[in-house]
Structure 1
Amino acid sequence: MIFEHLAHIVAAPDVHLTDEPRHILLTDATGFLGSFLLRDLLRNTSARIHCLVRGTDASDARARLTTAATWYETGADLDFDRIDIAVGDLAEPALGRDEGAFDELARVVDVVHHTGASVNWLYPYEALRPANIAGTEEVLRLAARHRTIPVHYISSTGVHAQEPAEGRRIAVDDPIGPPELLSNGYRQAKRIAEGIIDIARSRGIPVSVYRVDVVSGDQVNGACQKQDFVWLSIRGMLEVGVAPAGISGFFHPTPVDYVSAAIRWLSSRIAGVGDTFNLSNPHRLHFTEIVERLRALGHTLVDLDPAEWSQSVCGSIRRTRCCRCSTSSKPRSRASGAIPTLTRTRRRWLRPAATSTAPGQRGTCWRGTWNSSPTRATSRSPAGK
């Protein structure tokens, strides 16, 4: 991969590292992981958090932030005396800020947590490039503009081309890419972004990379996102009452509160700046196990040929709302940490069928027993985890 256009991203002579940042820039504080990371940064630092949020104006952006915190139940820790709303957009030059506002952020910020991305497993690379590639380039340009400051970049274990064997953790040194071997545009964009980061590192910009996988609900309250492909597939099954027969897909769920806490702790250590970390789960949760668990809760799920199942779910969605629907019959994902044991829960809309109502707008939320310590591919573990 050649990135001649990155010649302008060169580290400033003054490299600024601190374990007590006064100002932190956080992208995508309204996203799933971003909302939890904002909560953990507010809890564990005294810094002022500058949140890059899309909106028509500051009031609209603040409302979006509050809505997300309410949805994910992270709002109890919102302290707007320590939060600055930076209205912007990753997909735009200068992060959607005017040059003066962009320059001011570059002058005051001590560290950047770049959590933001356009996450979609169906869109091609070209559709994701503005936010996921150009946005990362703009973050690096900001970090190198006046003082060279650390960037903590959220990547994906999807950059690894090969799935590890059952019981084996994905290691940082396992091969990644090349992009043409990765199965979708999102994985390709993350791999290409890591290539850009390698160039930035070679030029003296301290960038840490955290490869996470499919992130599941909070261990305490079960709150999770509603737009993830895995959860949408489960919701589709429950709404239509059918399941794909003989499906072989699997994934590796990791609770969002663990992922956020690990990133927050690792990013606080000056000694680890510039490293790559895999938040990796050696165990798989197979799609058939999910179907069995739902049936155990009392839901009736009729087995259908995968192609028929896909058509049935898509037809149900089209009858209720306009959507873009995948015809793929193999839901598959990957993730990190250790697997929660799925247990009977009455939270949200995943509940025993005898007491359930029709599935609502809330995402699937499973509460489970945390039966082994989530790990990462380094020799040290996050404190308290």
Structure 2
Amino acid sequence: MNSKHSYSAADIQVWLVSNLAELIGVETDEIDVHEHLENYGLDSAQAMILVSKLEKMLGFQPSPLLLWHYPNIAALSQRLAEDLPEESAIQDTTTASVNTPVQTLDLNAEVVLDPIIRPDALPPVSITEPKHIFLTGGTGYLGAFIIRELLQQTNADIYCLVRAANPQEGKSKLVKNLETYAIWDEKYQSRIVPVVGDLALPLLGMGAEQFQILAANIDTIYHSGALLNYVFPYSALKAANVLGTQEVLRLASQIKLKPVHYVSSVAVFESPAYAGKVVKEQDDFNHWEGIFLGYSQTKWVAEKLVKLARDRGLPVTIHRPPLISGDSETGICNTHDFINLMVKGCLQMGYFPDVEYMMDMSPVDYVSKAIVYLSMQPSSIGKAFHLQHPQPAPLSTLIKWVQSFGYPVKAIPYEQWQAELINNVSSVDNPLYTLRPFLLERWSDEQLTIPDLYLQARRPHISCQETLQALAGSSIVCPPISSEMFMTYTAYLIQTGFLNVA
């Protein structure tokens, strides 16, 4: 650990502007120190990179939660410039002996849906031929591909919720995100309509009149937006992921009845109560004990809210994807997602953990196509779907593929791999350095790390048979996890400079 230094708020602000600009690939003059950091698309992995670099500069490791409490550069700089006592400033995550208190949060008590959200006697709209679609998450990875499918499979205009100062800035953000994933086409210009708002605010950050106008115009809602962060606790994610879902349900139940197609997660079954059990699409989930990630907790509560709204008469479909991999045809992917950062970090370290873990991630093109197709089938209303890969592959197979591509890596026992991570990964140049809090922090009475909790023996078997049957009438098939697909992903990552040639 470096010795602690003294910096002014101005010094730290200049440093943050420079490093954030470098991290997200923009010029420093495009960074507004009063803008919410999340508005720059800063995900949990990038946030950890920023925190790790701050540790090198300041001489102590700031808590990642500071990015929640002080969500813009100006406020964060001022807070970091304060003279913190050494014992409270340093949060050492370089060892695997972190002792995290067992959670006391009762998720059942969080499942409270506003009683006003009750779509009684509202006129229904067409499920199969919507003219105006409202979508959340349009500046995210999966959201971009859902937009592509909606543009191709419908004639509807897509109204996209986006945090921005004005509609012009909002449109620019949406277009830039679509360009990132090679989706943007000028012919879609008139069909993508920015709706300035915020998922974490009441009425989605709109005025009451604007909210009512939107409720009157929209025919269908796709709710894929969420704050994805593997470090923040439930309390930091609740506003966007839980209360934001409630506001989406409110929108759906006003003026006219609008179906909600909700993107949930297989994380709702993370409780150890389901370990080793087969979980089917329509099975309920009542166990929450042992779900430790704040993000997973919010998805559990949010889906419960959606089901409450369904029971009150709102037409809904629920789509539960696993971890999402790149486009199976182009290899285009989110280079900052957990999978890619882990692979890159292990390649740099020269070691993969030899653990029993099944790769059940599904390609983003399959997930987005399945969501849009299933959502447009009248028989889907009221049902849940699992977008899990039907034929997962063991991690050991991926390691063999990596070795066959010429990368000199070995699989070593997990405890030895952890020791390598603690002792030899000491620079932010390796993505694993930024993931150490996630990989090494211990949870539960058994003092298990998050990777421990995701070992195959502790996970449920997610059945997707009903989903596959529902897709049988389409041409949508989940591509097999193969060396060819992995080569496609690797080629893209090398092309973008994310990975080096073996």
TM-score, normalised with respect to structure 1: 0.82
Are the aligned partners of 1:129 and 1:189 in contact in 2 as well (CA < 8 Å)?
yes
| Residue deviations 1:49-97 (CA, integer Å, cap 9, x gap) | 1011122322222222122111212113761211110112111111122
Equivalent AA in structure 1 for residue 358 of structure 2? F
Matches within 5 A, 1:1-385: 1-2=108-109, 3-4=111-112, 6-18=114-126, 19-76=128-185, 79-160=188-269, 161=271, 162-163=274-275, 170-238=279-347, 240-301=348-409, 305-311=416-422, 315-317=426-428, 323=434, 325-328=436-439, 330=451, 332=454, 337=478, 339-343=480-484, 344-345=487-488, 347-350=491-494, 359=499
Contact 1:247 1:306 in 2 (8 A): no
RMSD, aligned α-carbons: 2.8
Farther-moved stretch of structure 1 (220-229 vs 294-303): 294-303
Distance in 1 between residues matched to 2:376 and 2:365, nearest whole Å: 17
Q: Quick one: which amino acid aligns to residue 270 of structure 1? A: P
Deviation at 1:264, TM superposition (A): 0.8
Compared with structure 1, are the counterparts of its residues 313 and 184 closer, same or farther at alpha carbon in structure 2 (3 Å cutoff)? farther
* Letter paired with 1:186: Y
Alpha-carbon distance in 2 for matches of 1:313, 1:98:
53
Q: Flag the 1:357–1:140 CA change in 2: closer, same or farther, 3 A.
A: closer
Equivalent-residue separation in structure 2 for 1:54 and 1:271 (angstroms): 34
SS at match of 1:315: coil
- Say if 1:15 and 1:311 are closer, same or farther in 2 by CA, change over 3 A: farther
Is the Cα contact below 8 Å between 1:253 and 1:339 reproduced in 2? no
Question: Distance between the aligned counterparts of 1:315 and 1:33, measured in 2?
Answer: 32
* Structure with larger Rg: 2
What amino acid does structure 2 have at the position aligned with 1:256?
A: V
Distance 2:387 2:430 in 1: 39
CA contact (8 A) 1:295 1:301 kept: yes
Q: Deviations over 1:218-259 (max 9, x none)?
A: 122111112321221112123x23224423333302111111
Q: CA 1:241 to 1:181, structure 2 compared with 1: closer, same or farther past 3 Å?
A: closer
Q: Write out per-residue CA displacement over residues 109-166 of structure 1, whole angstroms, 9 at most, x where no aligned residue.
A: 001000111122332222211111000000001111111211000011121243557x
Give unpaired runs (5+ residues) of structure 2. 1-107, 441-450, 465-477
On the 8 A contact 1:236/1:313 being kept in 2, the answer is no
Looking at structure 1, the residues matched to 387 and 431 of structure 2 have their Cα atoms a distance apart, in angstroms, of: 37
* CA distance, structure 2, for counterparts of residue 312 and residue 220 of structure 1: 39
**Residues 351-375 of structure 1: CA deviation (Å, up to 9, x unaligned):** 8xxxx96738xxxxxxxxxxxxxxx
Q: Whole-Å Cα distance in 2 between the matches of residues 181 and 296 of structure 1?
A: 38
Assess, with a 3 A threshold, how the Cα gap between structure 1 residues 272 and 15 changes in structure 2: closer, same or farther: farther
Over residues 190-228 of structure 1, what are the superposed CA-to-partner deviations in whole Å (9 max), with x where a residue is unaligned? 111121112111211111111111111112211111232
- Structure 2 CA distance for partners of 1:164 and 1:175, relative to 1, 3 Å: farther
CA gap of 1:100–1:359, structure 2 versus 1, over 3 A, is: same
Structure (1/2) with the larger strand percentage: 1
Alpha-carbon separation, structure 2, partners of 1:61 and 1:321: 33
The 1:341/1:312 distance shift into structure 2, 3 A limit, reads farther
After TM superposition, give the deviation of residue 320 of structure 1 in Å.
Answer: 9.0
For 1:280, what is the secondary structure of its paired residue?
coil
Partner Cα separation in structure 2 for residue 296 and residue 4 of structure 1: 52
Aligned residues: 352
CA gap 1:108/1:175 in 2 versus in 1, 3 angstroms: closer
Q: Distance in 1 between matches of 2:390 and 2:148?
A: 28
Q: Secondary structure at the match of 1:17?
A: coil
SS of residue matched to 1:50: strand
Q: Give the residue type in structure 2 aligned to 1:307.
A: Q
1:359 maps to amino acid: L
More helix by share: 2
What CA deviation, in whole Å up to 9, does each residue of 1:316-344 have, x standing for no partner? 32789995643526384998756420223
Q: Extract unaligned runs of 5+ from structure 1.
A: 361-385
Aligned-partner SS, 1:326: helix
Q: What is the TM-score when the length of structure 2 is the normalising length?
A: 0.64
Rounded to whole Å, the distance in 2 between the matches of 1:231 and 1:321 is 11
The residue type equivalent to 1:341 in the other structure is S
Shift of the 175–182 alpha-carbon distance from structure 1 to 2, 3 Å rule, reads: farther
